[in-house]
Amino acid sequence: MEFLEVIRKRKTTNGPFLDRPVSREHQHLLMEAASRAPSHFNSQPWRFILIEDRAKREKIAEIGGRTMQQLIADGRFFERYRPYFRFSEKEMAERRDGILIDQLPGPLRPFTRQVMSPSALGLLRALRVPQILGEDNRKLVASSPLLLAALLDKQEYRPGELSGFYSVLGLGMAIENIWLTTVELGMGIQFVSTPMEIPEAWEEIKRLLEVPEHLELMAIYRLGYLPPDNPRPRIDWKSDQRKRISQFVFRDSCATPESDT
Ligand SMILES: Cc1cc2nc3c(=O)[nH]c(=O)nc-3n(C[C@H](O)[C@H](O)[C@H](O)COP(=O)(O)O)c2cc1C
């Protein structure tokens, strides 16, 4: 595939993957791509765990579903991410950022805006939205043939110091390389971030993965091959919109937005 085409096609996969293991060859290609990322002084501070073991995947899925349900039910999710919810194509076209909630089960559709708002927590709970989202998430993670944990070596990852920032930058670039390579391999990838929003849940995963004291667990992803039809979860969103150049680029100083043409 053309390189720019790969960049334009890169996206988050919200739906299920094929029930087929990711070949060892492809797993190692993903890791090679990660290792080609730049890092300060070529320190390569990233570490990865390729998780295929079914019991471990199911446990992480259970924690993912539970934390998703918890975060939605207690309102934390909406409190944190409310500014990014869009409810119509028109709103999305104006802002050109955030996520458009474009898929809800039939009975919820008339309440789209209310369903995703902190003031409607009671309604949300009555409509069992936290359970639906939690259970859908658990199933998606459990049925993913490969989970990937990204870690940093604490010798370099020292939060608050420049080396901490450099390490996070390097890991981000390594993950982007993995993400782009999934496009080439007919695979998909999705961040599983709800466990890291609840410290006790994150600790549970660290114990499960036997993360040693000198490493920091930074993120978890689910990966697999993409099915030809792209079935979507019951509650879903899309986020393919991007800001115009004039909305995020300046020319020479922050006083002059770059023109779009
Ligand atoms: C730090 C970070 C955390 C994210 N957490 C999640 C997540 O928990 N679940 C998810 O589906 N996507 C997550 N994403 C993916 C973004 O939602 C996604 O990249 C964005 O909406 C743009 O969509 P795209 O990747 O399809 O282009 C995360 C991305 C980043 C960089």
Ligand 1 centre to CA of 196 (Å) is 14
Which burial class, exposed, middle or buried, applies to 72 when counting CB atoms under 10 A from its CB (0-12, 13-18, 19+)?
Answer: buried
**What is the amino acid identity at position 163?**
S
pLDDT in tens, the chain (261 residues): 799 999 999 999 999 999 999 999 999 999 999 999 999 999 999 999 999 999 999 999 999 999 999 999 988 888 888 889 898 899 999 899 999 988 887 777 777 777 666 677 888 888 888 999 999 999 999 999 999 999 999 999 999 999 999 999 999 999 999 999 999 999 999 999 999 999 999 999 999 999 999 999 999 999 999 999 888 888 889 999 999 999 999 999 999 999 999
Q: In angstroms, what CA-CA distances link 10 with 50, 64, 158, 180, 188?
A: 21, 23, 30, 6, 9
Ligand 1 centre to CA of 12 (Å) is 6
pLDDT given for residue 155 in this prediction:
97
pLDDT given for residue 80 in this prediction:
86
Ligand 1 centre to CA of 23 (Å) is 25
User: Regarding the domain with residue range 3-248, which homologous superfamily does it belong to in the CATH classification?
Assistant: NADH Oxidase (3.40.109.10)
Under 8 Å between Cβ of 14 and 155: no
**What is the amino acid identity at position 147?**
L
